[in-house]
Amino acid sequence: MKNEIQDRPLLYQSMLEISDLYVDFSVLNGTIHALQGVSLTVEAGKTLAIVGESGCGKSVTAQAIMGLIPVVGGRITKGSIRFGGQTVYANDDTKLQKKEWAGKQIAMIFQDPMNGLNPTLTIGEQIAEPLVVHKGLSKSEGQKIAIELLDKVRIADAKLRIKQYPFEFSGGMLQRVMIAMSLASEPKLLIADEPTTALDTTVQNQILSLLAEIQREQSMALMIITHDLGVVAKMADQVAVMYGGRVVERGLSDRILASPGHPYMQGLKEAMPNLKKAEPLTAIAGTPPDLSKLYSSCSFAPRCRYGMKVCVERIPPLFSVRDQHTSACWLHHDAAPANPLVLDVPHD
């Protein structure tokens, strides 16, 4: 079993480390196991993209880092998160994250900028709030910095704009405001949860370029959550693919994009429209797994065209596919057939 690995030694200094994280949500008729053993690392100054379809646990992972799990009504049942020498364990409350991380060393921007800002406060107040609260700046000092930050995210007439309310801005503008707000506390890590999903395509590119530029300038780490492989290709150094509350593939982004090791990632890639070649798009058949149960199998098995008996028997561990590319699929096991039989996956 030479290629079954634990985790490769880190080349870069890892800044954020998530180990075997489990998050549950109680709902009316049972429990949703949103994360079922997620492990991730983010390296200083690098960009990690987390990819996956809706409900795979991408956003929950981000919320866990920020200490937002209790806020959204869940709880961390197992695992730990380490950042800058401090560790938060399961069942601990989120005091540490709230006091030391959130809004200071780690900042986050959300998917929907229209709802992410308070409709009854001015933009300036909201941008300067972390400074006023955490650094004890006066209101006027805060406003001054807010103007600088708005300049930085290229919003014209910043002086006027800080006195306006969110409804007076367009979606793209609001996302810039969100970025400005997250930069106020000069974080070491910025988490962007689907920052462009709610925006027009042209605006999407502007925002992504802005993020990349700011990341370079501030030399901070960026964790970008997306379901868009285009964003991954454009932004990410590394990528983690999530499915059914687990990380199923991770490694350097160009390697994974070039030849995905996991059938799910292969499916995602095939579902991407390609402007250069006129090929029919293929969707991944089936529906995402029901997270109200904890699987003792590969949760992708029912949708997988290479499904094997082992897939329903055991959870696949991460196998090394090549250097800096691991994949949680039994196909990479030594005993797996080189040319697996392609199954007819039931469509529903």
Q: Which of residues 80-109 bind another protein (CB under 8 A)?
A: 98-99, 101-104, 107-108
What CA–CA distance (Å, rounded) separates 250 from 237?
11
CB of 273 to another protein, least distance (A): 23
DSSP string, 87-151: EEETTS-SHHIIIIIBTTTEEEE-S-HHHHS-TTS-HHHHHHHHHHHHS---HHHHHHHHHHHHH
Backbone angles phi, psi at 302, to 5 degrees: -65, -20
Taking CB under 8 A as the criterion, the residue among 134, 139, 159, 216 binding another protein is: 134
What CA–CA distance (Å, rounded) separates 166 from 123?
6
Q: Which is nearer to another protein, 7 or 200 (CB)?
A: 7
Cα dihedral value 65, 71, 72, 74, nearest 10: 80
Taking CB under 8 A as the criterion, the residue among 31, 75, 92, 112 binding another protein is: 112
Cα dihedral value 130, 134, 137, 141, nearest 10: -20
Does the footprint of another protein cover residue 318 (CB under 8 A)? yes
Size of the site for another protein (CB under 8 A): 71
Positions in 38-67 near another protein (CB under 8 A): 39, 63, 66-67
Q: Which is nearer to another protein, 174 or 214 (CB)?
A: 174
Taking CB under 8 A as the criterion, the residue among 10, 133, 160, 271 binding another protein is: 133
Does the footprint of another protein cover residue 146 (CB under 8 A)? no
Taking CB under 8 A as the criterion, the residue among 158, 307, 325, 332 binding another protein is: 307
What CA–CA distance (Å, rounded) separates 226 from 197?
8
Positions in 177-236 near another protein (CB under 8 A): 178, 181
Does the footprint of another protein cover residue 110 (CB under 8 A)? yes
Among 160, 159, 199, 157, which residue's Cα sits nearest to residue 178? 199
Taking CB under 8 A as the criterion, the residue among 55, 124, 130, 251 binding another protein is: 130
The CB-side HSE value for 234 (13 A sphere, CA atoms) comes to 17
| Stretch binding another protein (CB under 8 A), from 115-123, 205-213, 219-227, 235-243 | 115-123
Taking CB under 8 A as the criterion, the residue among 52, 116, 251, 260 binding another protein is: 116
Go through 143-182 and write b for each residue having 16 or more CB atoms within 10 A of its CB, e for each that does not.
bbbbbebbebbebeebeebbeeebeebebbbbbbbbbbbb
Does the footprint of another protein cover residue 25 (CB under 8 A)? no
What CA–CA distance (Å, rounded) separates 256 from 259?
5
Q: Which is nearer to another protein, 157 or 216 (CB)?
A: 157
Q: Which is nearer to another protein, 37 or 84 (CB)?
A: 37
Positions in 254-293 near another protein (CB under 8 A): 289-290
Does the footprint of another protein cover residue 343 (CB under 8 A)? yes
Q: Which is nearer to another protein, 51 or 229 (CB)?
A: 51
Tell me if 67 sits within 8 A of 102, measured CB to CB: yes
* Amino acid residing at 290: D
Does the footprint of another protein cover residue 68 (CB under 8 A)? yes
What is the CB neighbour count within 10 angstroms for residue 7? 11
Does the footprint of another protein cover residue 167 (CB under 8 A)? yes
* Amino acid residing at 198: A
Tell me if 316 sits within 8 A of 264, measured CB to CB: no
Taking CB under 8 A as the criterion, the residue among 25, 83, 264, 330 binding another protein is: 330
